[in-house]
Amino acid sequence: MQAARIAPSLGRQLLRLGGGSSRPTALLGQPRPGPARRPYAGGAAQESKSFAVAMFKGQLTTDQVFPYPSVLNQEQTEFLKELVEPVSRFFEEVNDPAKNDTLEMVEETTLQGLKELGAFGLQVPSELGGVGLCNTQYARLVEIVGMHDLAVGITLGAHQSIGFKGILLFGTKAQKEKYLPKLASGETLAAFCLTEPSSGSDAASIRTSAVPSPCGKYYTLNGSKLWISNGGLADIFTVFAKTPVTDPATGAVKEKITAFVVERGFGGVTHGPPEKKMGIKASNTAEVFFDGVRVPSENVLGEVGSGFKVAMHILNNGRFGMAAALAGTMRGIITKAVDYATNRIQFGEKIHNFGLIQEKLARMVMLQYVTESMAYMVSANMDQGSTDFQIEAAISKIFGSEAAWKVTDECIQIMGGMGFMKEPGVERVLRDLRIFRIFEGTNDILRLFVALQGCMDKGKELSGLGSALKNPFGNAGLLLGEAGKQLRRRAGLGSGLSLSGIVHPELSRSGELAVQALEQFATVVEAKLIKHKKGIVNEQFLLQRLADGAIDLYAMVVVLSRASRSLSEGHHTAQHEKMLCDTWCIEAAARIREGMAALQSDPRQHELYRNFKSISKALVERGGVVTSNPLGF
């Protein structure tokens, strides 16, 4: 057993990430689910409509992915079109990203202009002073911001996408009416305070404490938060702290996280100087200190003790915005790359005539197309009311942040020395992009989450089967159905799944590739779960590879869906999109096939994992590179 002795709490925590948000809760004003869910016992359990959840089980649940969703009605579409113009003009004519970067702050006139523009309350209901946009409309505007200035994007996003999103999602009527109007106008700014010096990815280990007063009227908040965006500017903070919670049944007191709305005006709130960063320099990042801050009990956000769930919900809810912004960033960068390639002459030709450049440009636009398709699909699913989109949202964040980095890096490569210079502005974008793979859930943690959350339902199914095996007569139907499916899949005969009739006929070959990839993927998931059972939580080498497969698979389906719609609707770019889709699917299917084959049957996989572990151990013991250079000194 090669399970690394990482704190089992990591695995548990990752599973809690899912457990909290996959079930609709009363907090969100949604009905509670029916009787306790026992896998397949009676079939009354609420089946998830998420494509990602289903693909881990080898099923094709197309409700949320086919056809490519269109959620805006005519009024919403017309309204959105009217908004695009002024926002674009503002960013083209007023905002100066280079200046913001040099000053390491957003220019005052620009900030004021953004407030007047209404950019600080895009998703606040109009009755409370906001623009009242749905997620899809928000995605479109955030795309514009991402195209022009990511630092401003973070200032806006830290404020509304996470800073006060908790109030929108979990706030009481009183809290909403008290805080949202000034937040929407930008009169007060908000910040999301979770991270601490000793708690980053391990969010459950935060130490900031909120001790209830004996009279019950307030909590006393003590602690410090690190790297808080808008920390130096905000007046309203969503703060996560440990509070003592008494179990009503056992009387035991546990420390659980609670979310609070904290006003700077409560006293005791201070902040440090702005951090010097690699990128998004204009965005303010600071330490925030809470010293004996008295927070009224009415300012608890959600329920006492449910803070972890609140935090994960907030982050989950805002993720599509990141993918949308990054799709915009890539669109702008690709324009610059194409502009350069069509004008630069070397060796007597425009360089866009050279194969190396052509491949770069093609790969860049495929990454942009996938990211954009994911962003708008997730936002549409959210607008359609689906509550089970967390895996897809996480995938879109991982994919978008890595795609944007690759695209911008490649743009610099195409531009050669020019790309490295400050003036064209591409190097600034690259520096701005680096943080996107780190914050709001590092891509590494999110990969583990995608794999584990995806496996969770499948794991339950398998344990259901396990208990069915103990009582074969009572569960014959279950066994027949499942056993048949598993047998067919393991024999490589395919599970009878097909996308024909769902994808456009011109994409049928790519559709088949996707289905085959899904079957290969699910077969490996099942095999590994049977082998490791709950221990899979510690198999990070495996989980990472499963996540990569899941990401590629979701990406294939998303572009199949979008390209199908374009073909069906006769868009003038439909043939180009078909090419993008087919090209992507060919390579993604190959990656999945090879990846899953390696996981399934390559005897050297275990040797690889053992070696990674040993090499790492040696480095740790040595404190660095173990070998000296070839000279020996």
Partner 1 sequence: MAELRALVAVKRVIDYAVKIRVKPDKTGVVTDGVKHSMNPFCEIAVEEAVRLKEKKLVKEVIAVSCGPAQCQETIRTALAMGADRGIHVEVPPAEAERLGPLQVAQVLAKLAEKEKVDLVLLGKQAIDDDCNQTGQMTAGFLDWPQGTFASQVTLEGDKLKVEREIDGGLETLRLKLPAVVTTDLRLNEPRYATLPNIMKAKKKKIEVIKPGDLGVDLTSKLSVISVEDPPQRTAGVKVETTEDLVAKLKEIGRI
Please identify every residue annotated as catalytic. Answer: 440
Query: Which C-beta is closer to partner 1: that of 105 or that of 122?
Result: 122
Nearest distance from residue 89's CB to partner 1, in Å?
Answer: 6
Nearest distance from residue 224's CB to partner 1, in Å?
Answer: 36
Q: In this chain, which of 118, 153, 400, 549 binds partner 1, going by CB under 8 A?
A: 118
List the one residue out of 97, 103, 137 whose CA is nearest residue 118: 137
Query: Which C-beta is closer to partner 1: that of 117 or that of 414?
Result: 117
The dihedrals phi and psi of 45, each to the nearest 5 degrees, come to -65, 150
Query: Which C-beta is closer to partner 1: that of 86 or that of 484?
Result: 86
Nearest distance from residue 118's CB to partner 1, in Å?
Answer: 3
- Which residues are CB-neighbours of 220 under 8 A, at least 6 positions away? 210, 211, 213, 292, 293, 294, 295
Helix (H) or strand (E) holding 291: strand 285-296
List the one residue out of 513, 496, 508, 498 whose CA is nearest residue 564: 508
- Which residues are CB-neighbours of 425 under 8 A, at least 6 positions away? 97, 98
Residue 113 makes contact with partner 1 by CB under 8 A:
yes
Q: In this chain, which of 89, 99, 350, 509 binds partner 1, going by CB under 8 A?
A: 89
Query: Which C-beta is closer to partner 1: that of 126 or that of 335?
Result: 126
Residue 91 makes contact with partner 1 by CB under 8 A:
no
Query: Which C-beta is closer to partner 1: that of 11 or that of 118?
Result: 118
Pairing of strands 236-246, 190-193: parallel
Q: In this chain, which of 10, 60, 71, 87 binds partner 1, going by CB under 8 A?
A: 87
Contacting partner 1 within 127-146 (CB under 8 A):
129, 131-132
Contacts 24+ apart (CB under 8 A), 4-8: 4/538, 4/540, 4/613, 5/538, 6/538, 6/540, 8/537, 8/538
Q: In this chain, which of 6, 28, 38, 86 binds partner 1, going by CB under 8 A?
A: 86
Query: Which C-beta is closer to partner 1: that of 79 or that of 354?
Result: 79
Nearest distance from residue 119's CB to partner 1, in Å?
Answer: 7
Give the Cα-Cα-Cα angle 21, 27, 33 (nearest 5 degrees).
65
Place of tokens 């990482």: 6
3-state secondary structure of 423: coil
List the one residue out of 499, 385, 521, 515 whose CA is nearest residue 451: 521
Q: How many helices (H) and strands (E) does the chain have?
A: 20, 10
DSSP calls for 495-554:
-S---BTTB-GGGHHHHHHHHHHHHHHHHHHHHHHHHHGGGGGG-HHHHHHHHHHHHHHH
Q: Which residues of 18-40 are buried (b: 16+ CB within 10 A; e: fewer)?
A: bebbbeebebeeeeeeeeeeebb
Nearest distance from residue 481's CB to partner 1, in Å?
Answer: 51
Q: In this chain, which of 119, 168, 228, 393 binds partner 1, going by CB under 8 A?
A: 119
Residue 125 makes contact with partner 1 by CB under 8 A:
no
Give 382's DSSP letter: H
Q: By CB under 8 A, which span of 50-58, 109-117, 289-297, 419-427 interacts with partner 1?
A: 109-117
Does residue 416 contact residue 345 with C-beta atoms inside 8 Å?
no
Residue 514 makes contact with partner 1 by CB under 8 A:
no
Query: Which C-beta is closer to partner 1: that of 125 or that of 272?
Result: 125
- Give me the 53-82 binding string for partner 1, x by CB under 8 A, dash otherwise: --------------------------x-xx
Residue 154 makes contact with partner 1 by CB under 8 A:
no
Residue 117 makes contact with partner 1 by CB under 8 A:
yes
Nearest distance from residue 90's CB to partner 1, in Å?
Answer: 6
Q: In this chain, which of 8, 28, 30, 116 binds partner 1, going by CB under 8 A?
A: 116
How big is the site for partner 1, counted in residues (CB under 8 A)?
20
Place of tokens 């000793």: 198
Residue 180 makes contact with partner 1 by CB under 8 A:
no
Q: In this chain, which of 54, 71, 83, 550 binds partner 1, going by CB under 8 A?
A: 83
Contacts 24+ apart (CB under 8 A), 458-462: 458/56, 458/57, 458/525, 458/526, 458/529, 459/529, 459/533, 459/534, 459/536, 460/39, 461/39, 461/40, 461/57, 462/526, 462/529, 462/530
Give 71's DSSP letter: -
Nearest distance from residue 144's CB to partner 1, in Å?
Answer: 12
Query: Which C-beta is closer to partner 1: that of 122 or that of 204?
Result: 122
The dihedrals phi and psi of 587, each to the nearest 5 degrees, come to -75, -40
Nearest distance from residue 184's CB to partner 1, in Å?
Answer: 9
Helix (H) or strand (E) holding 632: none
Residue 126 makes contact with partner 1 by CB under 8 A:
yes
CA dist 581 and 603 (Å) reads 34
Query: Which C-beta is closer to partner 1: that of 30 or that of 126?
Result: 126
Query: Which C-beta is closer to partner 1: that of 131 or that of 326?
Result: 131
CA dist 19 and 426 (Å) reads 41
Contacting partner 1 within 313-372 (CB under 8 A):
none
Burial class (CB in 10 A: 0-12, 13-18, 19+), 438: middle
3-state secondary structure of 476: helix
Pairing of strands 349-350, 345-346: antiparallel
Residue 94 makes contact with partner 1 by CB under 8 A:
yes
Give 434's DSSP letter: G
Nearest distance from residue 573's CB to partner 1, in Å?
Answer: 12
Q: Which residues of 383-400 are buried (b: 16+ CB within 10 A; e: fewer)?
A: beebbbbbbbbbbbbbbb
Burial class (CB in 10 A: 0-12, 13-18, 19+), 464: middle
Nearest distance from residue 192's CB to partner 1, in Å?
Answer: 23
Nearest distance from residue 130's CB to partner 1, in Å?
Answer: 9
Q: By CB under 8 A, which span of 124-132, 169-177, 468-476, 502-510 interacts with partner 1?
A: 124-132
Nearest distance from residue 205's CB to partner 1, in Å?
Answer: 40
Query: Which C-beta is closer to partner 1: that of 102 or that of 112?
Result: 112
Applying CB under 8 A, the residues found at the interface with partner 1 are: 79, 81-83, 85-87, 89-90, 94, 113, 116-119, 122, 126, 129, 131-132
